[in-house]
Structures are given as structure tokens and as C-alpha cells.
Amino acid sequence: MSVETEITWLPTEDYLEKSRLLALAQQQNVDGYQGLQDWSAQDPGGYWDAVVHDMGLKFDPGYTQPVDMSRGKEWPEWFPGAGFDYVSNIFELALERGAVHELAVIWEGDGGDTRSLTYQQLWEETCRFANALEQLGIVKGDRIGIFLPMIPETVVAVLACGLVGAIYIPMFSGYGAEAVASRLRDCEAKLVITADGFNRRGKFVPLKETADAAMAAAPSVECCIVFDQTQAPVQMQEGRDRWWSDAIAGVSNDFERRPIAANDPYMIIYTSGTTGKPKGAVHVHAGFPIKAAHDLAYMFDLHAGERIFWLTDLGWMMGPWLIGGGLLLGATIVIFEGTPDYPNPDRLWEIAERHDVNVLGLAPTAIRALMAQGNEWVEQHDLSSLRILGSTGEPWNPVPWQWYFEQIGKGKLPIINYSGGTETGGGIVGCVTAQPIRSCAFSGPVPGMAADVVDDDGQPVRGVVGELAVRQPWVGMTRGFWHDDERYMETYWSRFPGTWMHGDWAEVDEDGFWYIRGRSDDTLKVAGKRIGPAEVESAAVAHESVQEAAAVGVPDELKGESVVVFAVLRPGNTASPELAEAVRQEISRQLGASMRPKIVRFVSDLPKTRNAKIMRRVIRAAYLGLPTGDLTSLENPAAVEEIAAMGGQ
């Protein structure tokens, strides 16, 4: 039996006894994980009503019905008429638990410096900054761009916006000026929060300089607050710019709460599409934060007082997800300003050991890179505090999944595989600690998500690849795109009435395990057979010389489409025609001769976003000499140039 079909992990009594998901199921008198799935699909309002009560969330005033779908499934209003302020909930729940002096945030910088804030300290800093924002003229509904690395002040800024009722726009700290400017212009941001700069791999990144260029192209911005992170000299524009320390000087840390409705927007997070400008997904107070807390509680089994470290930036949805969800549950969130392999390839394991991390979340790309450095970097660290391993961002390949399981989890910890999207506010499918886990697979839909896999006619299919769909609305789904309802409807609801089409290929096997096979716009169709790129890439990575791979389709006169694989070699291997042919034959051996790539090209890097997603549509376009579309989220644009230079040959 192959690693892909074995049950890799079974829950022990400890995991079953501690499971928040099983406790909720028992409380609601339903049969475990499957019972919660079935109930939430049949009665989404009843399910989410039970969830917010189970988590102890406070609404003032309360709601009389959990959901109003009078405008259709596309525009549900959750907890209509209620007041809900997710930020005040965070601190009221901490007070209720007697946990205000427990750590809320632990930060580690690129150079190894650390800082921490208790819940009490975080509340005081949040209130002080919220008052400072109001003194600068910020009112409910104003948009604020947050262009910061992952530092404690980032958490303070995010929460302060929520207290005031302002809407924040999270942006990757590695964005260029035009990527920042396009987002500021689209939402007509009034204020930008940034820093003088930060260190990445020991080198200074001039963040304020990028922010200045962006603000010059975003006329709506009236004010900029600059945090003095590195004490580097920067240009301050008189009348517009002020230091963070000056903005909060003499300001009270006692904030008088403002009325916030459950469906008031709190965040616009931009996601890049295949074509056109980035989409601004609108999220509300009683939406994204509740969904994040729900998934962390019932999928990752996160408890109050535990420590969670997810390698992320604020600009990826996992940053707001970690802040909102982790703090609502009373956990300690560990945030990191640096990179996984600096100054050495054991940096992440060092952080997990130093800060007694219980839940660790990494993208498969990070694992593929770190496993290539050798097991000795892991073996020198005590990772016994870990209880849960998490992953999201892209499909797994079996070899790195197994390495994560064996080397980091010592063959004992569950890997909670998790997949969703910026617009969904969290996961659509995932694993749970109360169910058996199989390599690279998902247990099934996240409870609360009426997910399905459908064919071209919208009918359910099993055992073959179809499209991932959701048949009921859920707490956390976007309230449309900022000032572009038509694009929202066209993107997700236009294929089949009342059905959200997510844009992923998925498959449910005969044992009921779910798989994501890649983005549906990345699909390969060779000689009439459709296959997800992840399957081809897994076959390529199975070759001992290949670290990671990307598969794309190119026009072919005979087959309609042929496969081209771009591969990054493991250290110590040298590209050669013979090695390329060996990788081709390995893919053929695993998938059949019809799926043998037309060619395997070796590259030094693959184009990726800051959250480590491989940009296949960019690879294909660059290789074929076609327009590459929006590249603002790319981490490594030089990788595109390398592929373009190959010229489709």
C-alpha cells in the first residue's frame, strides 16, 4: 500500500478527550465530525448560532435570528440587528477567564530580538492607538492601509482600527510601490500605517521609502503614521507624516467603546485574480474573525492559553486569521519578522523550541525548502511542546508531507491540512484531530461549509476530479468585492444558481478522503484527459533530485495540450538532458505514458507569492510569451524573467 493510501495517523485517547469538535457535537447531540457536517449543511443558521454560544461570544444588542437570507444565498446577513465588536470580545473574554496577565503576543525579529505583550498590555496599547486615530480625524468607515512587517505594533494597529470602526487594508511588507498604491487608490484610503523599515536576512528594507512612493500615487491619503522600528533615518513629509510615538504621546489608554454592528466592515483584503485588477474582499466584524476562531477551535483544536505560531505576513489572509481567531480563543500568538532559513535553516525549529509552541503552521513550500537542508537541523532541537502541525496555501506532495510528519511530528502529531481562501474567511476543507488522517488528504469539509465536488453540470461526483463548490452560505464569507458587486457575482455565483464555485479542482476518493488538485484555471487536459497540476508535480518531486516543481499546459497540435514541467533541483544536483529525461520517465511511470511531459526544464526558482503559492498561470504566460497579468503579489519576479528567457523552446 502506498503512502498516499495508508491511514498515516489515528487519534489517541488524549486527542479525543481534548477535542473541542467532539465536545460541540456531544453538546448538540449529533454524531461527531460527520454529524456536525450534516447538521451545518442542513441548518446553517442553527449551526452557527450554536458555535457563537459555545465560544462564549458576546452580542450587544443580541440577535433574534442567526441569519437573514432574504437577499439570497449570495448576500446573507448573519446575526442581523446585533451589535458585535470582535476586538472588545477578545479582551472581555480574557477578563472573564482571568487571563489578562497571560501573554497575548510573542514577537521575534529577524535578528533574534523578542518582545511580548500580555492581554492587559495589548488592550492598553490598542486603546491608546485607537484614541490617537480618532484625534487624527479617523471615523467609522474610514479606510486605513497597514503596511507593516509582523511586529507587535501590527497587532495593535489592526485591533485599534476595529475599536474605532475603521476598515483596515492589510498589505504584504514586501510589496512594491505600485502594488501598495493600487490598493490605497481602490479603497480610497485616508491613512497609512507603516514603519521606517525592517530587517530581512540581516539587510535593511526601506519600507517608508516604498510607502512614500505609493502615497504619491494615492491622492486620498491624508496622513501617515510611522513606527520607528529600526531607528533608520527617513524622510518625513511635513503635515502628513508623524511618528507613532508622537501620535500616542499623552493619549489615554482608556477607550470609550463605539457602537459596532455585526455586519459593519472591518477589513478589505485584496486578492489577485488571473486577469484584471486585484479584488478587494470585504469582511465584517461578525464574519472573518468568528470563522477564523471557529476553524482554529474545531479543526486545529486550539485552546485558551496555548501558543500558536503560523509563518505568515499580514498581507496573506493567514495573518488577519491568526490575529483575529487566535486572540478570540485566548491563545498566545507567536509572530515572526524574519525568514525560515536565516541565519540558519533551523530558524523555525529554534522558534518553536524557544517559545514552547503548541500549534505550528507552515506552507508546503517552506517544508520542501527546509527538508533539502538535512535532518540534522531538526534533530538538535527539542520540539516536544508541539501538539498540532498545520499546513495551508497549496497542495502537498507525498515526500515533503511525510518528512513534516516524521521529522517534525516524530510520527505522532496530526497534520491539519487546511484549504480555503481569502474570500471564504478560512477553510472549506480540512483535517481534524478527532479523525484518521491520510497523507496529503483532507478529512472532508470544514463543519459549517456545505462543500461538494461537482461536474460540468453542477452534479455531485466522487472518485473523479471535479470542481469544488459550496451549496450554503457561511459565517466568514466575503460581503462582496469593494465597490464591485457585479464582479463578485460573476466570480463565484454565475455558474450554477445558489452555488459558490471556488475555482479549485477537487476529488473525493472511495474512502471519503478529499483532495485539492489545484486551481481550476491551472488544469491540464491532455488527449482528452483532465488532470490537476499537483498530481504531475508530486510525480516529479518523487524523483530524488527534484526539490519542487510546477506543471503547466502548452498548446499541442496532436494532444490539444502537452505538459511542460519546471523543476528546481535539490542542492548537490546538476541540470542535464539526462536528468531531465529521468524526471520525464518518472512522471510517465507514475501517471502513464499519456501524461509524460513534453519537456522538463530546470530553473533556479519558481514564481511564488509572498504566501508561497506557485503562480502557474504566470509561468505558462511567461513561457509562451503571453501577457503575465497582475504580478503585484510576486515574491521573486526574477523567476519570471528566467522562464521568459526560455522562450517556449
> All domains of the chain, ordered by start, with CATH?
7-84+263-517 (3.40.50.12780), 118-248 (3.40.50.980), 523-644 (3.30.300.30)
* The three-state (H, E, C) secondary structure of 138-168, written as one string: CCCCCEEEECCCCCHHHHHHHHHHHHHCCEE
Show the cell assigned to 430. Answer: 480540512
Position 562 confidence tier, pLDDT thresholds 50, 70, 90: confident
Range of 444-448, 553-557, 572-576 with top mean pLDDT: 444-448
In this prediction, residue 1 carries a pLDDT of 32
Report how far residue 324's alpha carbon sits from residue 284's, in angstroms, rounded to the nearest whole number. 12
Sorted by sequence, the CB contacts under 8 Å of residue 304 that are 6+ apart come out as 97, 99, 329, 330, 331
Asked if residue 563 has pLDDT above 70, the reply is yes
Sheet arrangement for strand 265-271: 241-243, 223-227, 191-195, 143-146, 167-170, 265-271, 279-284
Do 430 and 396 form a contact (C-beta atoms < 8 A)? no
Question: What global pTM score does this model have?
Answer: 0.86
% of the chain with per-residue pLDDT over 70: 95
Asked if residue 612 has pLDDT above 90, the reply is no
Average pLDDT, the chain: 92
Asked if residue 599 has pLDDT above 70, the reply is yes
Summarised one tens digit per residue, pLDDT across range 44-72 is 999 999 999 999 999 999 999 999 999 99
In this prediction, residue 3 carries a pLDDT of 43
In this prediction, residue 275 carries a pLDDT of 43
Under DSSP, is residue 498 helix (H, G, I), strand (E, B) or coil?
Answer: coil
φ, ψ of residue 479 in degrees (nearest 5): -90, 40
Show the cell assigned to 168. Answer: 483596515
**What number is the average pLDDT over the span 610-618?**
78
Summarised one tens digit per residue, pLDDT across range 317-341 is 999 999 999 999 999 999 999 999 9
Sorted by sequence, the CB contacts under 8 Å of residue 605 that are 6+ apart come out as 568, 636, 638, 639, 642
Q: Is 624 left (phi over 0), alpha (psi -120 to 50) or beta?
A: alpha
φ, ψ of residue 469 in degrees (nearest 5): -135, 160
Q: Which helix (H) or strand (E) holds 647?
A: none
Under DSSP, is residue 421 helix (H, G, I), strand (E, B) or coil?
Answer: strand
Sorted by sequence, the CB contacts under 8 Å of residue 445 that are 6+ apart come out as 37, 41, 428, 429, 451, 514
